[in-house]
Structure 1
Amino acid sequence: MTDISTPTPAALENESRRYENRLLVILFVAFGFVFFDRQALAFLAPYMDKDFGLSNAQLGTLSGVLALTWALAGMVAGRLSDKIGRRKPILIVAVLMFSVFSSVSGLMGGFVGLLAARALMGVAEGAVLPMAQSLMVETSREHRRGLNMGLVQGSSAGLLGGILAPIVVVWVAEATSWRTAFFVTIIPGLVIAAVIAKYVREKPPLVRTAATDAVADAAPAQPKPAMKDVLKQRNVLICMLIACFYLTWFITLITFTPKFLTDEKGFAPGTMSGVMTCLGVAWVLWGFATPGISDRIGRKKALIGFTSLAVLCPIFLVYVDNPVLLGALMIVSYTGLGCFTLFMATIPAETVPPGALATALGVIMGVGELAGGFIGPMVSGWASDQWGLQTAMFIASGGALIVVALSFALKETAPAVLRRRLATREAV
């Protein structure tokens, strides 16, 4: 007769913590390579000019079409995931597809072909974030929720897309060609998909409290919230608007800054790469610091304060000519990517019921990408062709300024802050 012992609560808790950290590392790398692939085009644009002669409007269109398909895919994948109750299979397929389509960009011989390749890449990449953040929030302990989600969405993209991408793709392009730089992007994606298949679970190993146990037990009997019910949530609507203008800030900056530094500032490719790497350093730093700070001071205060700094980032690009000083100011002011986790993942996750989580994340990301990611860079590219590339920088700054104003309409969701407020009211 076999003796089957039941794991103690302490053993289960230890297993859960180990899985939380393991999942964090896997999703960190997965979403980081999404942005490695997405950023590659902007860094390779100066090299592609010899073959394509891209105008600012065409460069904006290439960025915009990826955002368009990213948006549509994110909304569809999020809703599908909530309906079938599965995240992992969608995530694996998405990672495989974006790796393949990113490398296909290196095969294209004209603008139309490149446009098609970027559109297909966006279809795959759009599903990654709603799946990754849904898995992460279900596994995270309350006091680490913002930090974990910030590392997955912010710091990962900064490290791999902001620091590693400009160094690697510029080096490969200099040593071989811009086409080869696209080709090598397929390898990490294949490895990541295999790791997800082996180590990621559909559900976390432990639900940690009696309250969340009750919610989990009741969830299967509850109808899935309709889209209209999700959109009735005030925070969801405000986060959708914030996403539109913050994506304008972000996509405009990552699309036009490399060309602005080389064409308008006259920086050599190596100097441009160095300044862009400073953006990546800031991306990593603020990607986890901003959500981590928001766990303590509140989501709303953090969003208002750090976005106010982000308003200055494009202004510094226009008016500061010394590359060393400019790099330092980029590290201080490129705070927006830490804020992305708040309005695109953490605040919605703390606002909607679990059965609507991926839907909410998908629709906020989708609407933001449509307006700020698709329309924003095309308008900025057209305006830059008319009045110079500095126009794109002013458009980006204006987008962040509007976000500051919108953030005042949010309802606070940080659990620690809400508990302090409740304790204060009870004391009074």
Structure 2
Amino acid sequence: MSTVAKKAWKYRYVVLVILWLVYIINYFDRMAVLTFLPFIQKDLNLTPVEVGQLASVFFFAYAAAQISAGFLADKIGAKKVMYIAITVFTAVTAVTGMVKNFAQFIALRIGLGLGEGHHFAPAIRAINNWFPFKERGRAVSFFATSWAVAPAIVPVIVTSISVYFFAGAWRPVFYVLAIPGALGIFLLWRFVADSPKELIAKGRLSKDEDIEDGAVSATLTKEEKRKQYGVFLKDSNFYVYTLCLFCQLAVYWGSSTWLTSFLVTQHGLNIKEMGFFASAPYIVAFFAMMLGGWLMDKVLHRMKPVALIAYIGCIPVLWMLGAVEKGNTGMLLTLLLLTGFFVNLNFGSIYAYLPKRYPKEIVGSATGLANGIGQLGSFVSPLVAGYLVKVGANGSQDFSGVFIFFALTAALAAVCAIILKEKQINPLALVKDEKSVS
């Protein structure tokens, strides 16, 4: 073993930070579109329904990609799949600055969804490989803060680039975003491996048994590994969890998609003001996600109580947000901050549910399938919201019905959380049961 080899228990935090940074780059691309959406809508002369279709088609492609992403991560390795994903979504983002009409935009949104959709499940699989069972709640929660940090900084950064470098134009910003994409590819290549074993074999890490501590794992035959996939497919809680995730993603991406349009059209904010207010929920979101993961691992040792606090808190906050009167910026900011807290409190812990319940050999596939179905909530929500926006005779827009819809969706998520069971499943016991029955 090389004298310069580092302990795996230390290096896993390097891997986690790199995965976190690269996923922030992922969010830069998608959030840039949402930030400039009201201005893109004006330039391309799009209706609210067409805007909803543009947002939804991205998530349809994103959801479809989740399933193949999880399967590929289990088969060829997480790192290779993430390479492909970053290359695709970086190229599509750069081309977005050239879009001329609705049809072209639809095609680019599908391409972006397919690229970014192959990023999440492999990242979760990599975290699962690097972190012991007892730390996965906090590790996934920290990773989840990437989609709190990115939305918090992206609106401010991209609007500032637009205002100070391109006289308020949005198209050149997308060309600039190819730079962080290239950086992400380099970081992934230089610092990340699929598992500690890979770097231990190369002499870059010293062996650390703690990685396997508490994990449910086993040496199984090929036939037994195939049967493991039935572990989650036959588990009714997997489907309750998926519906819960569907609702959570519907609330998160529905509100994220329409937030900038809500601020510009209903509250009359200019591009700089909008950038600040649009960032507000996600500043709080970072702390909410970390708190949720800490509560799950250290205090409550379960996801369900965290989920119930989050979803029940969402209901009144979202309902009131859509009804804030124009000009009442104090109340608007307060409710945006509360929205950021409650919508994001359960994000880290909900994604730690599957790694804690199922064996690591199938976590990639289970996560990919659950997130693929769950992401349909992200597809449905912006589309439904587009039909709920009330357009006045003078062109004004009212979003009160949109946020009532989000509040009702959060209520359904709370019901799912009440039903959900969290006991860890042992795959060896299930395999033995099948053998005894046969």
Task: Give the TM interval when normalised to the shorter protein.
Answer: 0.7 to 0.9
Identity %: 21
Query: Contact between 1:316 and 1:326, CA under 8 Å: does it hold in 2?
Result: no
Matched with 2:100 is 109
Q: 1:224 to 1:338 in 2, by over 3 A?
A: farther
Query: Contact between 1:308 and 1:400, CA under 8 Å: does it hold in 2?
Result: yes
Query: Contact between 2:255 and 2:406, CA under 8 Å: does it hold in 1?
Result: yes
Matched with 1:292 is 294
d(CA) in 1 for partners of 2:405, 2:335: 19
Note if 1:182 corresponds to 2:188.
no
Show CA shifts across 1:38-68 (max 9, x none). Answer: 1111210122233212221111111111101
Query: Contact between 1:315 and 1:397, CA under 8 Å: does it hold in 2?
Result: yes
How far apart are residue 216 of structure 1 and its match? 5.3
Q: Select between 179-188 and 168-177 the one with higher mean Cα deviation.
A: 168-177
Give the superposed CA RMSD: 2.5
More helix by share: 1
Q: 1:211 to 1:288 in 2, by over 3 A?
A: closer
d(CA) in 2 for partners of 1:72, 1:280: 26
Q: 1:196 to 1:374 in 2, by over 3 A?
A: same
d(CA) in 1 for partners of 2:92, 2:37: 18
User: Could you state the TM-score of these two structures normalised by the residue count of structure 1?
Assistant: 0.87
Q: 1:413 to 1:28 in 2, by over 3 A?
A: farther
Matched with 1:64 is 56
> Which residue identity lines up with residue 313 of structure 2 in the other structure?
L
How far apart are residue 356 of structure 1 and its match? 1.3
Query: Contact between 1:278 and 1:328, CA under 8 Å: does it hold in 2?
Result: no
Matched with 2:418 is 408
Structure 1 segments (4+ residues) deviating >6 Å: none
Matched with 1:194 is 186
Matched with 1:30 is 22
Matched with 1:425 is none
Matched with 1:382 is 387
Secondary structure of 1:224's match? helix
d(CA) in 1 for partners of 2:403, 2:120: 27
Q: 1:330 to 1:207 in 2, by over 3 A?
A: farther
How far apart are residue 237 of structure 1 and its match? 0.9
Secondary structure of 2:346's match? helix
Matched with 2:354 is 348
How far apart are residue 188 of structure 1 and its match? 0.8
Query: Contact between 1:35 and 1:157, CA under 8 Å: does it hold in 2?
Result: yes
Query: Contact between 1:312 and 1:333, CA under 8 Å: does it hold in 2?
Result: no
d(CA) in 2 for partners of 1:375, 1:221: 38
Matched with 1:306 is 310
Matched with 2:46 is 54
Query: Contact between 2:70 and 2:367, CA under 8 Å: does it hold in 1?
Result: yes
Note if 1:362 corresponds to 2:368.
yes
How far apart are residue 225 of structure 1 and its match? 4.1
Matched with 1:246 is 248
How far apart are residue 339 of structure 1 and its match? 1.6
d(CA) in 2 for partners of 1:360, 1:385: 39
Q: 1:381 to 1:209 in 2, by over 3 A?
A: closer
> Which residue identity lines up with residue 138 of structure 1 in the other structure?
N
User: Could you state the TM-score of these two structures normalised by the residue count of structure 2?
Assistant: 0.85
Matched with 1:394 is 404
Within the candidate set 330, 339, 348, 1:333 is matched to: 339
Q: 1:307 to 1:260 in 2, by over 3 A?
A: same
Query: Contact between 2:253 and 2:381, CA under 8 Å: does it hold in 1?
Result: yes
d(CA) in 2 for partners of 1:394, 1:56: 18
Q: 1:277 to 1:210 in 2, by over 3 A?
A: closer
d(CA) in 1 for partners of 2:29, 2:221: 37
Within the candidate set 142, 146, 151, 1:156 is matched to: 146
Matched with 1:272 is 274
Show CA shifts across 1:1-37 (max 9, x none). Answer: xxx68x9xxx99x612221110111011111122221
Q: Select between 45-54 and 397-406 the one with higher mean Cα deviation.
A: 45-54
Query: Contact between 1:59 and 1:381, CA under 8 Å: does it hold in 2?
Result: yes
How far apart are residue 360 of structure 1 and its match? 0.9
How far apart are residue 394 of structure 1 and its match? 1.2
d(CA) in 1 for partners of 2:153, 2:176: 13
Q: 1:30 to 1:235 in 2, by over 3 A?
A: farther
How far apart are residue 128 of structure 1 and its match? 0.8
Q: What aligned pairs does 1:8-47 form with structure 2 within 5 A after superposition? A: 15-47=7-39
Query: Contact between 1:271 and 1:323, CA under 8 Å: does it hold in 2?
Result: no
Q: 1:40 to 1:406 in 2, by over 3 A?
A: same
Note if 1:204 corresponds to 2:196.
yes
Q: 1:359 to 1:381 in 2, by over 3 A?
A: same
How far apart are residue 367 of structure 1 and its match? 0.7
Secondary structure of 2:258's match? helix
Secondary structure of 2:225's match? coil
Matched with 2:428 is none
> Which residue identity lines up with residue 45 of structure 2 in the other structure?
G
Show CA shifts across 1:236-295 (max 9, x none). Answer: 111111122112211210111111111112223322222211112022111222122111
Matched with 1:215 is 217
Matched with 2:126 is 135
Within the candidate set 66, 81, 92, 1:74 is matched to: 66
Q: 1:226 to 1:142 in 2, by over 3 A?
A: closer
Q: 1:210 to 1:350 in 2, by over 3 A?
A: closer
Query: Contact between 2:86 and 2:116, CA under 8 Å: does it hold in 1?
Result: yes
How far apart are residue 353 of structure 1 and its match? 1.9
